Amino acid sequence: MILAAADGDPGAVDRMVTRRAAGLPLELVVGWAEFGGRRILVEPGVFVPRRRTEFLVEQALALAPDASAVVDLCCGSGAVGAALAAALGAVDLHAADVDPAAVRCARRNVAPLGGHVHQGDLFDALPARLRGRVDILAANVPYVPSDEIALLPAEARDHEPRAALDGGTDGLDVLRRVAAEAPAWLAPGGHVLTETSPHQARAALSVFTEAGLDAGLAICEERPARVVIGTRR
């Protein structure tokens, strides 16, 4: 039992059970989420990494097993960047988020792996020296349409920042901004990867192709997960 294993103090466990029963996500109750075989520290007010996102990490590693420069954009807890760095070894890792709480949390997960975390709006947060050098750009952008936020499970709707969920009218607003700038930051043959939903996949592919990227879709029905991949020509 995760709660029992999280703390040997019976009183602390009772308090944790009470918080869980009140609707707090399990990961926020225990303070960590399992992702990519690692414990990723999470905090209240920060997006909790989803296990399905491990598929994005797997796709990135398959495409660029020798990547030397990696960016985790819209990083939240930094789970994706941490998983990539752990698998790649010596890598120039940079994560970025606009939310100060996410940045603080991501530093706890990324710094032990030698990575750097920056606060700011998308690419504005990154060091200019990365332009044209990024082999893997993981951009797990918010993609829930604004009018569908109310339909999300309460654990997400009530306990995660709306900015980490809300992708605008059609859910693709942030993706369009990422795609527009990605070619300038990717190395030749570099890849940008993002999650999407089944009904948004075709439109997300078009966003990448319109930005001048070669676009493809990877699907894992088991988890389930869909990852749109853009490659710099």
**Using an 8 Å Cβ cutoff, are 165 and 108 in contact?**
no
Residue in the structure block whose two tokens are 């809300």 = 166
The predicted pLDDT at position 24 comes to: 73
CATH code, domain with 187:
3.40.50.150
**What mean pLDDT is reported for the chain?**
92
Residues 28-54: tens digit of each pLDDT:
889 999 999 999 999 999 999 999 999
For residue 15, is it within any domain?
no
Is position 56 within any domain? Answer: yes
- What are 189-218's pLDDT values in tens digits? 999 999 999 999 999 999 999 999 999 999
- 88 in a domain, yes or no? yes
Q: Which domain holds residue 200?
A: 47-232
Confidence tier at 166 by pLDDT (50, 70, 90):
confident
- Please give the pLDDT value at position 9: 60
What is the per-residue pLDDT for 22? 56
Report pLDDT for 14. 61
Q: Would you say residue 3 lies in a domain?
A: no
One-letter amino acid of 195: E
If one counts the domains in the chain, the total is 1
Q: What is the pTM of this model?
A: 0.90
Any domain includes 25: no
User: Whole-angstrom Cα distance, residue 185 to residue 9?
Assistant: 49
Rounded average pLDDT over 59-69: 98
Helix (H) or strand (E) holding 168, with range, is none
Q: How far is the C-alpha of 119 from the C-alpha of 157, rounded, in Å?
A: 24
Determine the pLDDT at residue 119: 98
Q: Is 36 part of any domain?
A: no
Encoded tokens for 141? 């952008």
